[in-house]
Structure 1
């Protein structure tokens, strides 16, 4: 059993693990040090938005914080509003409130189990694991010591895409991280021309929020395929079956081309394709682990966009709002890749793009360009202070495909020689390389439970 545990990160994954540990009766009391980077942790980027336009893309009934209580969020929401249904897609702001309430309750109840927790409102800047424990550096040269540490830092800071000139970045008109920008954006009645690079759920959130604040702005989204995320059905639907038969067929031939063929067959024979995709969720991590590296790379190059479009879907209300903007002529989608962004003398941005399937380039001018290309999990190239230290000092191994850190499926991180570290773990997006499906609450709560089991056994 590890009595002294350091938890690093201030978002939902860290909050879930902290609560999981503090709610347990253990042979000896736990002493947790939580390097949260904030005096009010728990929300992170995902649930820190104050806007009610930003909705969860998972129904309320499935967003509980604990494996033992998957309906906990629904109970919380219904206590405030009895009209809430389990099939509703509720604001992410409300889920952030729920996370904070559960953390506060766990901290308040910790004393009855003999546990204590030290909330450190600073980010961990360095970490050195050894056979004797873990030393964490933070603040102005301060150090803390623990028996074990868990990295739950979420997505890494986004990096500008290749081709963006320094002058464009310095101008403030090329936005690399959309969330601080949205938080500070004020109402504006100018006829702004806005380009959004990427077309996933974050892009949708950005467009809807700014379209409401900037009523005369027009938005263009540029992505490789030009497709929006698929919408959820208005009514909840159960998977057509448990997915076992399809998963076994896929295991027989771990090949992306074969897998896509099997999925198309299954969806063609289903009443709705979504039920097939949802039936695969319990099997996705296991299938990913069986896939050879070459096939994983092929998936990332050719099929990732299609899978994520089908897997991470829009709530019906969000899909309707986007469709209304398109119908009104305020939002359009383009297929292609951004090649370069430069700052003009007048302060606007010139964007060079190459259309999908062709060699010709097109240059267009925008007032603002916002990058929304998804999670950054490239630990080899990140500017994240702690991650850079761990990688440079050869204390961890970056995932070969840029999907977080090399790890065992149970969360043990691998050292520079590829060997598992007995006292260093990760949960959440850093495990995408090992598990692929590793960023949503239903997966994170299972990881938190599993890591907690290892820490206190």
Structure 2
């Protein structure tokens, strides 16, 4: 049993793990150091938004914080409004309220059981893993713990290649869209034309908020294929079966082209709603991903990731209707293309795009990078991750999907690919494990990881 544990990160993954551990009744009191990084504890970036327009992309009934309490979130919101249904898509701020309430309850319960929880509103600067524990360093202070867990969420976004220093310095190229959305006075004069680079769920959130904030602004959204995420059905669809036959066939031949063919055939043969097939695969994705050779994973990332992401990470139907209204009203235009460069052009910025082998240019008052979460530890300026990489305490996933680990979350030392050596006392949870699990960013997966990791920490 690890009695002294450091949990590093202030978002939902860290909050869920902390609450899972305090829910238990271990034979000895725990000492938990929770390094929140100065952010609002529990909410993180995902649930820190105050906008009513930013909705959960999962129905309320599936958003419990705890694997053992499936109605947790639904019960929480129905106490205020019994009319809320489990099929509703609710504002993300309400989920942030729920996380905060559950953490407060867990802290109170932990205190009653004699556990010592120290909430430290600072970031960790360094970790020193050793054979029998970990030293955690922040500022001039260091603490010795039995185990440490990285629950950092997405890493700070980095500018895309091709963006000039002048474009960044002039302030008309926004790398972090959430910082822009959080400060309503960042642009006192609404821009006339805004270009978004990326068309995933981050772009959807940005479009919803800024189109309401700037009612006269026109938006152009650019991505490789120019397609928005798919939408959920108005009514929840239940899979006809568990897709056992499909999953077995995929395991028999771990090849991306073969898998895509199997998916198309299954949908066609069974006349199924494709969403139910995609959703039935979800619990099996970590195992299927683990069976793919590296070259097949790389092929998926190059050729199929975009299609999978827009089918898997869907938006609520009312959000799709709002975006359709923007397009029909002439305020939103979607374009295909790959951004090649962004340069300053007088009082504006100019983008150079490549589309079907041809070069095109766009001029805009403001460009916002909306490419989604960053998990590439090789390109990050995150202080702790940089220290761990420099000292070869962790190994980067070769495809930029976080860090190398085993399926239990033990982090792998760098230089140990031939005979992997994993730290017995250093773990990760959440988005940093995408390279190992692929499906590792949404609450249904994070709560399962938290439950499993709590079991390991309390029995290890």
**Bin for the TM-score computed over the shorter chain:** over 0.9
- Once residues 379 and 363 of structure 1 are traced to their aligned partners in structure 2, the CA distance between those partners, rounded to angstroms, is 32
Residue of structure 2 in register with 1:455 after alignment: 457
The list of structure 1 runs, each at least 4 consecutive aligned residues, that deviate by more than 6 angstroms after superposition, is none
Gap change, CA 1:217 and 1:5, over 3 Å in 2: same
- 1 CA distance for matches of 2:451 and 2:402? 20
**For residue 157 of structure 2, what is the aligned residue in structure 1?**
158
Consecutive unaligned residues in structure 2, runs of 5 or more: none
Q: Distance in 1 between matches of 2:56 and 2:404?
A: 29
Q: What secondary structure, in the 3-state scheme, does the structure 2 residue paired with 1:234 have?
A: coil
Deviations 1:252-287 (A, max 9, x none): 111000000000111223331111101111111110
The CA deviation at 1:185 is: 2.8
- Give the CA deviation at 1:190: 4.3
* 1:276-312 Cα deviation digits (max 9, x unpaired): 1011111111100011111000000000000010000
The answer as to 2:126 corresponding to 1:126 is: yes
Q: Secondary structure at the match of 2:337?
A: strand
Contact 2:7 2:35 in 1 (8 A): yes
Whole-Å Cα distance in 2 between the matches of residues 10 and 37 of structure 1? 6
Residues 94-142 of structure 1: per-residue CA shift (max 9 Å, x gap)? 000100000000001102322110000001111111013111111x321
User: What TM-score do the two structures reach when normalised by structure 1?
Assistant: 0.98
Is 1:386 the counterpart of 2:407 in the alignment? no
Indicate conservation of the 8 Å contact 1:36/1:122, yes or no: yes
- Contact 1:379/1:398 (CA < 8 Å) preserved in 2? yes
Q: Does 1:279 align with 2:277?
A: no
1:439 paired residue among 417, 438, 441:
441
Residues 401-426 of structure 1, C-alpha deviations (whole Å, 9 max, x = no match): 11000000111111122301100000
**What does residue 352 of structure 2 align with?**
352
**Cα displacement (A) at 1:363:** 1.1
Alignment of 1:390-429 (within 5 A): 390-416=388-414, 417=416, 418-429=420-431
- What's 1:217 paired with? 217
Rounded Cα–Cα distance in structure 2 between residues aligned with 1:46 and 1:419: 33
Query: In 2, distance between residues paired with 1:20 and 1:38?
Result: 22
Given that 1:48 and 1:93 are in contact with CA atoms closer than 8 Å, whether structure 2 keeps it comes out as yes
- Native 8 Å contact 1:3 1:456 kept in 2: yes
Q: Is 1:173–2:175 an aligned residue pair?
A: no
- Per-residue CA deviation, residues 132-154 of structure 1 (Å, 9 max, x unaligned), is 3111111x321122100000000
Which TM-score applies when normalising by structure 2? 0.97
Instruction: Please report how far the alpha carbon of residue 182 of structure 1 lies from its aligned counterpart in structure 2 after TM superposition.
Output: 0.6
Displacement of 1:39 in angstroms is 6.5
Between the aligned partners of 2:39 and 2:388, the Cα distance in structure 1 is 25
C-alpha separation in 2, matches of 1:364 and 1:110: 56
In 1, the alpha carbon distance for the partners of 2:353 and 2:328 equals 24
| Alpha-carbon contact 1:240-1:270 (below 8 Å) kept | no
Counterpart in the other structure of 1:376: 374
Q: How many residues align?
A: 453
* Other structure's SS at 2:455 match: helix
Superposition pairs of residues 218-233 of structure 1, within 5 angstroms: 218-233=218-233
Checking the alignment, whether the CA contact within 8 Å between 2:36 and 2:120 is kept in structure 1 is yes
Which is further off, 171-180 or 37-46?
37-46
Any residues of structure 2 matched to 1:297-312 within 5 Å, and which? Answer: 297-312=298-313
Contact 1:4-1:31 within 8 A present in 2 as well = yes
Q: Which residue in the other structure is 1:333 paired with?
A: 334
Distance of 1:108 and 1:170 partners within structure 2? 46
C-alpha distance in 2 between matches for 1:162 and 1:349: 16
SS in structure 2 of the partner of residue 107 of structure 1:
helix
For residues 190 and 63 of structure 1, what CA distance do their matches in structure 2 show?
36
Contact 1:43/1:100 (<8 A) preserved = yes
Distance 2:159 2:433 in 1: 23
Give, in angstroms, the shift of residue 40 of structure 1: 3.5
Structure 1's unaligned 5+ residue stretches are none
Paired with 2:176 and 2:240, the residues of 1 have a C-alpha distance of 39
CA contact (8 A) 1:338 1:354 kept: yes
Corresponding position of 1:145: 144
Give the 5 Å matches for 1:31-46.
Answer: 31-38=31-38, 40-46=40-46
CA distance in 1, matches of 2:4, 2:72: 28
Q: What is the aligned partner in structure 1 of residue 316 from structure 2? A: 315
Residues 416-438 of structure 1: CA distance to partner in whole angstroms, max 9, x if unpaired?
22301100000000000000000
Deviation at 1:163, TM superposition (A): 0.6
State the distance in 2 between where 1:27 and 1:98 align: 29
Comparing 170-179 and 108-117, the one that deviates more: 108-117
Q: Quick one: distance in 2 between partners of 1:217 and 1:266? A: 44
Query: Any conservation in 1 of the 2:9–2:151 contact (CA below 8 Å)?
Result: yes
SS of the residue aligned with 2:378? coil
| Post-superposition offset of 1:242 | 1.0
1:430 maps to: 432
Partner of 1:96: 96
RMSD: 1.1
CA distance, structure 2, for counterparts of residue 364 and residue 425 of structure 1:
45
Per-residue CA deviations over 1:79-106 (Å, capped at 9, x if unaligned) read 1111100000000000001000000000
